[in-house]
Amino acid sequence: MSEPEFSARGVRIARWPRSLTRAGEVRIEDGRLALLTSYGSEIDSAPVEKVRAGRPWFAKSDETVATVNGTRYRLTLHRDEHGGGSGGGEAGGGEAEESGRFLAALKRAAKRR
């Protein structure tokens, strides 16, 4: 199995108006985006070409809105207390960088398909 192109843990995943998990995982692997609970159960997934994501003007710097299979999710991508968060191995940086890395990885994966 290949290493994920992007992986962030400790992600708050919300579907308006309620939170689904405060410690979930967002993973882009083999051309698919998967939203997972803290236990590893799948909340939703779709091929990256079918996912729309962006940072609306009203969102905080660490938030991203992703539409997966017609359902809008608010993803709050923040670093955990140990400095982890990205599967890319980069250390340092802030929440806005983590959100930017997610959007960039999603675009790269979609272009490959």
Q: 7-22, pLDDT tens digit by residue?
A: 999 999 999 889 999 9
What's the pLDDT band for 86 if we cut at 50, 70, 90? Answer: very low
Please give the single-letter amino acid code of residue 32.
R
0.85 exceeded by pTM: no
Please report, for the chain, how many H helices and E strands are present, in that order. Answer: 1, 7
Q: What is the pLDDT of residue 1?
A: 59
Contact (CB, 8 A) for 51 and 38: no
Architecture of the domain spanning 6-112: Roll (2.30)
* Dist. CA 42–CA 80, nearest whole Å: 21
Q: What is the pLDDT of residue 58?
A: 87
The strands making up 32-36's β-sheet, listed across from edge to edge, are: 42-47, 32-36, 18-29, 6-15, 71-76, 63-68, 52-54
